[in-house]
Structure 1
Amino acid sequence: MTAAAQKQDVIDLLLSQHNEIKSLFTRVKAARDSEQKREAFQQLVRLLAVHESAEEQVVHPSARDDAGDAVVDARLHEEAEAKHVLADLYDLGVDGPGFDAKFAEFERAVLDHATHEEKEEFPALRRNTDANTLRRMAGAVRAAEATAPTRPHSQAGESAAGNMLVGPPVAIFDRMRDAVRDWREAHQR
């Protein structure tokens, strides 16, 4: 890990990921062909899956004391809905009928979710958690992301315990599927 990454706190890490997610939404919409669109969408799916899993394991449990149960429960509800829609979009495929319309609705929901986190949850964490703990939480988020599934699995739930129990075995399967998919795509050209 770089020195800059070691100094980065969890809120800065998550804000950076939110910006990356926004950029990937733009790339999907701006793609000139199905291959570019599929590649950008796969990157978005992976980032959203690992990001939300890590938030559910590390950030939301910590934020309960700071932002309150109602704020965290609302974010978990949004994440549960997003997992279902993302799984539907993944199954539909970027060339599927209605993908673009459903994708646009999904983008609005995800960006609204990120805005709620940035205005309600993150300020409470920053205000009530010391800087050293926030830096350690960034390390915990990175570790959770390294073992998180790379696809949405709505049946896993949104709890920290559920993600820790189901996440690693499912992540191994997802990462094997990703490797096979990437190999096939690279060798079919």
Structure 2
Amino acid sequence: MAQTQKMDQLHTDDVVSVLRRHHDMIKEMFTEVDKASGARRDEAFMRLARMLCMHEAAEEEVVHPFVRDRVKGGDRIVQARMREEDDAKVMLTGMMAAGTDSRSFMADFKRLRSAMLQHIEAEEREEFPRLVKESSDADRRAMAEAIKAAAQAITLTDPRLGTPDAVMDRTRDVIRQSMGKAM
């Protein structure tokens, strides 16, 4: 019960709150892509792809190392989330290469959405509560600052960030720079 109350009282400067907001944005972006067509679908999908890559890179750099090192059973949790993230990255890369006008786009899109929604639910059910339990407010604030810096630095419409690897690399660079200052 106390753990549930702690999760409910998280502030906007807490890493779990930041990541949950990302999850909400990702869900909205999936809906936007699903409803769009033509050039609008392409633009919406590219924003979604960049958001997914930025979000996952931020988790890989900030959250997963903390969970792996500080949470009992954290390595198992992180390995499962990383497998899901790697599978999604492969799907996303293929979809980006094929384009939104590909015959298989909508089927691939539905598989990606389903996989990501399951991934989000697993993070929120397994990883986030353990992260809150095993970290201090200061830990979570520092992690949030690093992730917010990355989110501000990554423009979801920047054409130079055309591949998942480019977005993830840029995110990692910003986070590492930020964490050098914040942690």
* TM-score interval, normalised by the smaller of the two chains: 0.7 to 0.9
Of residues 8, 31, 36, the one that matches 2:13 is 8
Distance change (3 Å), C-alpha of 1:169 and 1:133: closer
Of residues 129, 132, 138, the one that matches 1:126 is 132
CA-CA distance at 1:126 after TM superposition: 0.7
Point out where structure 2 has 5 or more consecutive residues left out of the alignment. 1-10, 156-160, 174-183
Task: Write out per-residue CA displacement over residues 89-132 of structure 1, whole angstroms, 9 at most, x where no aligned residue.
Answer: 10111111110001101100011011110000000011111112
CA-CA distance at 1:39 after TM superposition: 1.3
Q: Whole-Å Cα distance in 2 between the matches of residues 34 and 72 of structure 1?
A: 37
Local SS of the residue matching 2:164: coil
Instruction: Report the AA paired with residue 120 of structure 1.
Output: E
Aligned counterpart, 2:84: 78
Q: Percent identity?
A: 38
Q: Whole-Å Cα distance in 2 between the matches of residues 107 and 53 of structure 1?
A: 18
Task: Write out per-residue CA displacement over residues 122-149 of structure 1, whole angstroms, 9 at most, x where no aligned residue.
Answer: 0001111111211111011123443796
Q: Whole-Å Cα distance in 1 between the matches of residues 62 and 172 of structure 2?
A: 18
Q: Tell me if 1:55 matches 2:59.
A: yes
Over 4 Å off, 4+ runs: 147-150
How many residue pairs end up in the alignment?
155
Task: Write out per-residue CA displacement over residues 136-180 of structure 1, whole angstroms, 9 at most, x where no aligned residue.
Answer: 1101112344379663239xxxxxxxx7xxx24998xxxxxxxxx
Q: Tell me if 1:111 matches 2:117.
A: yes
Q: Whole-Å Cα distance in 1 between the matches of residues 87 and 38 of structure 2?
A: 26
Normalising by structure 2, report the TM-score: 0.77
